[in-house]
Structure 1
């Protein structure tokens, strides 16, 4: 039975975001293009997913769209005029591709003050921008669109009457926009919790149905069916289902091996909901019971994750936080017999990199590796603030061909990952519903959960 989960679409949310961004851009109008459609092969297109920046500021999901937000003063109050260029209604195309919002819908449902067919963009933009000396636009994302834009402004030199105006100053809105997106508001947190809950349903399903003899792709199908039943239209990224030694390939996505008794299976997968993604990893025994060697590695990773979670709070720097994980993993690797000597020496020499090759975590939001800076423009590490959402995902990997790994650990790969919201007093685990204690994992895998 599927769950009916819906997002309440409120144009005021997007209007407020646009205004907040414009207030930081020094009076420059904002120009933003929707994500283009992409051919996969032949005449088959990839499934469309809106550009995250565009959706964040409009809530509009259709391709071939452009946002133009022009600052205005309403008395003493700052406001702006929103113009959306969209695909016009087209009865024949809608028979093939589905309903279009059209220009009326852009005004009625998405809060635009004006809306025009996308075919009129060139002519109308030329007229609107004639006297602008600034424009906020992210150059480089779409070279063809950039060239068209510069072509518009180059006409200033050949128009009548000639005003000897140069190309407007182009201001990049992305630093300010990404800083906004990095700190989630209450509306975003609510959506991300739904994405986390759906993801939990999928991971719990996978643990409950996994058994020796299944193929990784069969387990993937069970998990992703739970995502769809939960109301997620798509994954946040390609699912990783890595059994046995495949878990030691960090971004393994072939998912075609037949799982055996005695294997661990590492699943790194997240459902997307409302254009926000979860990102969770769980590692569990296919037959329901950890071996002693697997249990030792798993427990080591879990201890490090818990310690790093306790450290995630406002004021903690990203650099100190990631170093904490590496130092703690060095201690665990010494206990497992994978390293020798002192933990401090192993940390300084990066000896742990033979078994831990990635970072501790990353921002999470509309993109699975979400936007946001890890350093200030001066090169100093950022400190965490309330509203940030991050993953915590330590791991240990002992590939079968890693001669530095103890023999009894070779073939074992473990990662444990959850999604944390930084709060005023510390943090909140959005994905805590997914079991990760050994006793709870085994109980679920054995049908006792």
Structure 2
């Protein structure tokens, strides 16, 4: 709010009223300041730091949690910690920094957090970002240390901690304004190594991903139950809101912007506007994922007939995508190239499109590196790593990611589709406006792959039966 040039007695500024400050400074008890952490996170984060330490002997490592972005003026979006920071700490505090200093054959870690504004401090009532009267109980260093089994200090000690550090490496989010970090720039090397370490999930992370997938399946049920309301006028946004409410109730929230594309919107790959109607004759594409309170997300897609029964045209497209999906999932095996499932799925798509007369060239020409005509109807990738980010491990090297091999502990998505836009004149009129995607989350095991999301059927008849049951 603007500050007057001269004091206005009708609107006194509370920070400038001694009597108010004195009265507000006393008479308060101590609220429960236990930080919100999930069971097992302290041990998991400690193990993550050990792996990180082994990759950088003798180097000082710095990772920042970041700050919530501004939505408008003085209103911010909800804060979510940087994924690398959370992986290494288990801490969800805004504006925090963790420093790993070389010590012996490893590192000692210290977490630095902003000073909480407790009773007796001006910020208690005047700081909308940290004051307890504004944000609720504000954990201090001892509170965080107790739940994370980690040394925790105030951010004011960060400059001294970094003084004298030789060529420290920085990762995380730099949206916070920490003067001590100003001389540093983000280290591509540290970011890459963190991404590549996060490719292999430990048992604690796998349990979180199972929880995310299970909650997401429940979200699909909730959305399907609301189809009549959506058709009656609620539209796509009613269904998007249904899932987002479910995600906020069962987890931290949606792991990414929920995609609800009905009818001609289904071919739009990331239809997150969700401002269209839902019609009884539509096929509706739902791409949704619950993020747990430990920030691990699912990513699952199914395409449903709003009426409960696919039309012959919708079913034919769905059947081809299903065949591609099964071929892709069958290629997800430890030791195989990451690209194997991509090629397996694409071969089925290209052959099917050729059989329908939609390719201007042969299947072999289309699949060649100088062809790719089949990708007109599938321009996106068809799988990725999954974890703390929906598109996880994105800072990895090409050699470790697309050019690497699949290994036990990886969690991947497989998600082929066909997207026939209503204005694509190369497509027969009866297929225009149909978009189908199938996406599952797979855990690589020692001998194969487990489909974490297999509670949802992938065949057209199974989907119709599942809808009737839910």
**TM class, shorter-length:** 0.7 to 0.9
2:330 to 310, 316, 320: 310
TM-score for both structures, normalised by structure 2: 0.83
Which structure 2 segments of 5+ residues have no match? 1-36, 119-123, 125-130
Pick one of 168, 171, 189 that aligns with 1:138: 171
TM-score (norm 1): 0.87
Structure 1 position 95, deviation (Å): 1.6
For residues 245-394 of structure 1, the aligned pairs below 5 Å read 245-273=264-292, 274-339=294-359, 342-348=362-368, 349-371=371-393, 373=396, 375-376=398-399, 381-394=403-416
Structure 1: unaligned runs, 5 residues or longer: 1-5, 153-166
Shift of 1:340: 5.3
Deviations 1:89-119 (A, max 9, x none): 3221112112222111232222223x32213
Give the secondary structure class of the aligned counterpart of 1:40: strand
CA distance in 1, matches of 2:98, 2:170: 11
1:180 corresponds, among 187, 192, 197, to 197
Q: Deviations over 1:163-212 (max 9, x none)?
A: xxxx9x97832222111101101110000000000000011222233133
Between the aligned partners of 1:404 and 1:289, the Cα distance in structure 2 is 26
- Identify the residue that residue 139 of structure 2 maps to in structure 1: 101
- Give per-residue Cα distances to partners, 1:321-356, cap 9 Å, x unaligned: 322222210011123332355321222221112211
SS at match of 2:315: helix
Return the alpha-carbon distance in structure 2 between the equivalents of residues 374 and 53 of structure 1.
16
Paired position in structure 1 for 2:161: 125
**Residue 413 of structure 1, aligned match among 416, 435, 445:** 435
Aligned structure 1 segments of 4 or more residues deviating by more than 4 angstroms = 143-148
Greater CA deviation, 82-91 or 411-420?
82-91
Q: Is the 8 A contact 2:66 2:175 kept in 1?
A: no
CA distance in 2: counterparts of 1:375 and 1:171, whole angstroms = 13
Aligned to 1:232: 251
Query: Residue in 2 aligned with 1:216?
Result: 236
The corresponding residue for 1:81 is 108
What's 2:11 paired with? none
Distance 1:222 1:147, change over 3 A: closer
Aligned pairs for 1:399-438 within 5 A: 399-438=421-460
Are the counterparts in 1 of residues 220 and 243 from structure 2 also a CA contact under 8 Å?
yes
Alignment root-mean-square deviation, CA: 2.5
